[in-house]
Structures are given as C-alpha cells and as structure tokens.
A = this chain, B = another copy of it.
Amino acid sequence: MPIARKMADFIEKSSWIRKMFEEGARLKAIHGADNVFDFSLGNPNMEPPEEVRDHLEQVAADPAPGLHAYMPNTGYPHVRKAVADFLGREQGVAITENEIIMTCGAAGGLNIVLKAILDADDEVITPAPYFVEYGFYADNHGGRLVAVPTRPDFTIDVAAIEAAITPKTRAVVINSPNNPTGQVYSAQNLAELGQCLEKKSREINRRIYLVSDEPYRKIVYDNIEVPGVFDCYADSVMATSYSKDLSLPGERIGFAAINPAAGEKQQLLAAMALANRILGFVNAPALMQRLVALVQGTSVDIAEYDRKRNLLCNGLDRLGYKFIRPGGAFYLFPQSPIKDDVEFVGALQQERILAVPGSGFGAPGYFRLSFCVADQTITDAMPGFEKTIAQFQ
C-alpha cells in the first residue's frame, strides 16, 4: 500500500462522488458547459464586491516594508481588532482582538479548534444533514463524528443530541445558515441547545464545546436574523470565512472567535494558536488579512441570491418537488421523489442536471441543489427537472 490505509479507505468511500463529478465533466465535454446545468458546487458565481476589488489593488500596491513577512500565528493585531470590533457591533458582544485568530478559511478554523480540544477517540456530535467534511475534520485529530438527525424541518433536535452525549463527547458542531438545508436556527432552538450542553457538561464533568460554523451568516433572506451562539452558551467558538459573503473562497481567509465568556479561554487560545502553527497553516495569508480588515461588514449583493432562490423554489414547487424553503445560504435540499437519492441524481444527469445526493450529507432520500449559479441555468434546467420527476410519478 503506497498510502496510509485510512486515506485509501477515504478515497475508496468517496469514489462515487468522484464518479459523479467525472460524469458531469463528461457531459460538459459532450454538450458544452453552457448546456449542462451544474447545481453541484458551492462555488459562488458572483464576483467580489467592487469595494473589495479596489481595496485589494490598494493593499497589493502598498510599498511599506515587512508586509509579506511572518506575523504572530494568530494574525496581525490590527486585523484581529477590526474583526473583533465589527463582530462586537454585529452580535452585541464585548469581544476583543485577544479572542480572535485569523485562519485559512472556516475549514482552517474548524481544524484548529478541533485539534486544540480533541483527545483520542473523543466524539463530536453534529446534526444531520451535515457538511460531509466535518467527519474528516474530527478524524484528522483522533476524534469521531456522531451524526444526530435533525427534526423534519431541519432544526436541531435537542433531545436527540442530549441522548447522544456520552462521557467521550467533546464538542457539538453546528452550521447555521446550514449547508445543505439552508435552515437558520432560531434563538430559541440555540438557547435550548445551550441549556442542554450546560447540563450535560456538568453531568459528564467535562467541558463540551459548541463550535459554530458560520460562513453563510450574511447570506440570509426574508429579513431573517442569524442569532449568535455566544449568548446561548459560554464554552463556544465561532468559525467563519469571507469565502461566501465576499466571494473569495480560493483565497482562504477567515477567522475563529472564542466566546469572551468561555472558561479558561487563555489556554484554548494558546492551543488554537499552536494548532494553527503546527498543522502547517502557520498564519492566515498576510495580504488577505490586510484586505478583510478594510472591508468589514461588506458583502456581495444578497438580493441576487434571493432572486435565484425564488426562481428555483417557485419553479420546483410548481413541478411538485417537496422541500423546506431555505432561510439562508445558497442551497436547496428537496426530497428525492424516490427513496434512492443516488438513483434520482443519476436520472437528473440524464437531463444534464448536476446535483449532489443527500447521502453525501448523511441524509439519504434528499438531494442538494446549489443556486449560486446564473439565473439562466435555473430557468433552462426546469424542463429537465419536470421530465425527471414525471418519470417517477
């Protein structure tokens, strides 16, 4: 075996995803990319806002010395201060640069917090459907992901999470607005989760962390507010990125914020900074740190995504697809009209529509559509969606 057994296993298990993408690439080669309706990727189709592009030119041209050198593993102090100031205003919490670590996107942030807290064989609970990478992130650091189904409306089933907590539980990872469902957890739902974690932490005599993955926080519709987790539970950490709201996913810039009320937070901060260093991130990319400090609060035009959401939801609703209308993010997670979601996604491919089976998110019987695509892609795909559902009715 030329590679680690575990990695060979991971590659093997994800081979169906690869085959699906290969089939997509094959369709594009045959029909032309414009004639394939690709709803499979969470790669924002919008460009970064003009303000961001202007500031990028500015920071790239800055002649001051030392701007590409190493800085503290946690990031530039002035950048962390800008992030803390905005976060404090946004969520009404008293947070400082000392609770912020700049990271290589939310993925980097989640990995450093899990490395900081997980002992061997620790359990990490997440509501399912869930972003499939969480399983890898827990495993990276010796942990094990435990998926606990949500309620049918994709909100957190707190009683089920409580029942899943064992003496090995170290963290609960949530994601709101959610990938793949678009669900935004209410303040009430989060408060119940917080109470549950307080009670169970006492019971197992161990700090259970709440880790909140929030890259879609700014992408919400119908004036929904995304409640912060800091109010609902002290031992919480937020990880996020500028990938989605500034359309910069390739640049790998985000941050992790530790709840100012977290217990022994200095140790947590030191462990996360060390994890950032030794996992090989070292620090978040310097230039992008300096960029995001200048554009706090900026985002792409959410109305664009809202229009796409409505276009897709209204279209599919008319055709008889069943789904929960997403309150945020740019994903729709309809029920598969047949039990076998992989088969249904295969049938959509016959119509040159690319989607991801719910099985890829721990939720068979559903499929995910990303609507961060051109409006035309949505409208042009409708006949295909219609033909496919008709086959199974």
Verify A3–B116 contact, CB threshold 8 A.
Answer: yes
**Is A153 engaged at the interface, CB distance under 8 Å to the other chain?**
no
Q: Which residues of chain B are within 8 angstroms of A264 by Cβ–Cβ distance?
A: 2
Verify A7–B116 contact, CB threshold 8 A.
Answer: yes
Verify B285–A252 contact, CB threshold 8 A.
Answer: yes
**Is A86 engaged at the interface, CB distance under 8 Å to the other chain?**
no
Q: Which residues of chain B are within 8 angstroms of A119 by Cβ–Cβ distance?
A: 4-6
Verify B70–A274 contact, CB threshold 8 A.
Answer: no
Q: Which residues of chain B are within 8 angstroms of A207 by Cβ–Cβ distance?
A: 2
Select the stretch in A56-64, A155-163, A325-333, A353-361 that faces chain B.
A56-64
Verify A70–B3 contact, CB threshold 8 A.
Answer: no
Contact with B along A250-277 (1 / 0, CB 8 A): 1110000000000111011011001101
Given the interface contacts A57-B57, A270-B11, A287-B287, does A247 sit within 8 Å of B2 by beta carbon? no
What are 23 pairs between A and B in contact, CB < 8 Å? A2-B117, A2-B267, A4-B115, A4-B116, A4-B117, A5-B119, A7-B271, A10-B278, A11-B267, A14-B274, A43-B69, A48-B68, A57-B60, A59-B60, A67-B250, A70-B249, A108-B280, A108-B281, A112-B280, A133-B277, A137-B278, A252-B281, A285-B288
Place the interface of chain A in its size category.
Answer: 35 or more
Query: Nearest Cβ distance between residue A6 and chain B, in whole angstroms?
Result: 7
Cα separation A251 to B104 with both chains bound (whole Å): 11
Contact with B along A115-158 (1 / 0, CB 8 A): 11111000000000000010011001110000000000000000
Cα separation A14 to B3 with both chains bound (whole Å): 31
Query: Nearest Cβ distance between residue A310 and chain B, in whole angstroms?
Result: 24
Verify B57–A104 contact, CB threshold 8 A.
Answer: no
**Is A27 engaged at the interface, CB distance under 8 Å to the other chain?**
no
Verify B68–A282 contact, CB threshold 8 A.
Answer: no
Cα separation A363 to B6 with both chains bound (whole Å): 34
Q: Which residues of chain B are within 8 angstroms of A71 by Cβ–Cβ distance?
A: 250
**Is A65 engaged at the interface, CB distance under 8 Å to the other chain?**
yes
Verify B251–A286 contact, CB threshold 8 A.
Answer: yes
Query: Nearest Cβ distance between residue A215 and chain B, in whole angstroms?
Result: 12
Query: Nearest Cβ distance between residue A97 and chain B, in whole angstroms?
Result: 17
Q: Which residues of chain B are within 8 angstroms of A11 by Cβ–Cβ distance?
A: 267, 270-271, 274
**Is A111 engaged at the interface, CB distance under 8 Å to the other chain?**
yes
Cα separation A247 to B8 with both chains bound (whole Å): 37
Contact with B along A1-33 (1 / 0, CB 8 A): 011111110110010000000000000000000
Chain B residue nearest to A206 (CB atoms) is: B1
Verify A274–B10 contact, CB threshold 8 A.
Answer: yes
Query: Nearest Cβ distance between residue A280 and chain B, in whole angstroms?
Result: 4
Please provide the 3 A-B residue pairs with the shortest distance between their CB atoms, ordered closest to farther: A250-B286, A60-B60, A107-B280
Cα separation A30 to B118 with both chains bound (whole Å): 40
**Is A105 engaged at the interface, CB distance under 8 Å to the other chain?**
yes
Chain B residue nearest to A275 (CB atoms) is: B7
